[in-house]
Structure 1
Amino acid sequence: MINGSWATTKKRARHRVDDDRLSELPEHVLRRILSFVDSKTTVQTSLLSRRWRSVWKGVPALNLNRRSFNNFPSFSQFVSRILSNRYDSAGVEEITFQLQWDTWTEMFIDAELIYGTLFDYAASHGNLLRLRAVYCDPERV
């Protein structure tokens, strides 16, 4: 009797390890959780499984961080793609945009993306846009 009980407990424990409880959550809950994660990571969750493939397209908050990319052109392309591939019906409550510049030239080049793409998107969707911009003077660093 003891051996049978132990085997059942072991089987249940193994089954619990294999469970993906996160994927069992309703999609609106997954989207809310992902709204607290960097948008690059959020999009990468689409590779987890078929269930996750399009969850990111309806996340209610975008967290765009330049530091997640090796160069500005790849960041700019990512921002354009994420905005154009979102569900039209999915509302965005907030867009957080973080940039850090090492030179004034970089800042002015990046301004086109900030004022063009993101402000237009936020305005057309009635969203709050939080902008966190940091400039580091190379001579003082």
Structure 2
Amino acid sequence: MHTQRRYSKRELLGRLRIDYLFSNDQLPGITPESSRWEVLATFLKARDARAERLIKTEGGMIFLQSIPKRPNTGAIYVYNESLRVFLWLRFDRDDDLNGPDFDRAVWAYRLLKWVDLGSHRLVRVGHA
């Protein structure tokens, strides 16, 4: 009898790496008074992209950015509002993610913790 091996969700996307991208004040036109939605819109516009999936929390948001009309072109980003920074959540399988991949990754890797870092000081974000 041959049984098919079941892969864990972590094995499907590979190892998670967290990269600091930049603070929101590096986006054109963004001020300390800008809303999270203005920050997100400016981030997406700079990349000619859209947010295919988005989860908002008190601490900010996590989203799947993709290129319009091009399936499986997504990457996962976090905007941490209290720190006013963007993080790129990278996997071994990078920049080819879709909506179901995002849904699985949020759960399997517990990605919401990166949105709600609170007021902890972000010195260097390494591997998770």
With CA pairs under 8 Å and 6+ residues apart, which has the higher RCO, 1 or 2? 2
Judging by fraction of residues, say which structure has more helix: 1
TM over 0.5: no
Judging by fraction of residues, say which structure has more strand: 2
Which of the two has higher C-alpha Rg? 1
* TM-score w.r.t. length of structure 2: 0.29
* TM-score w.r.t. length of structure 1: 0.27
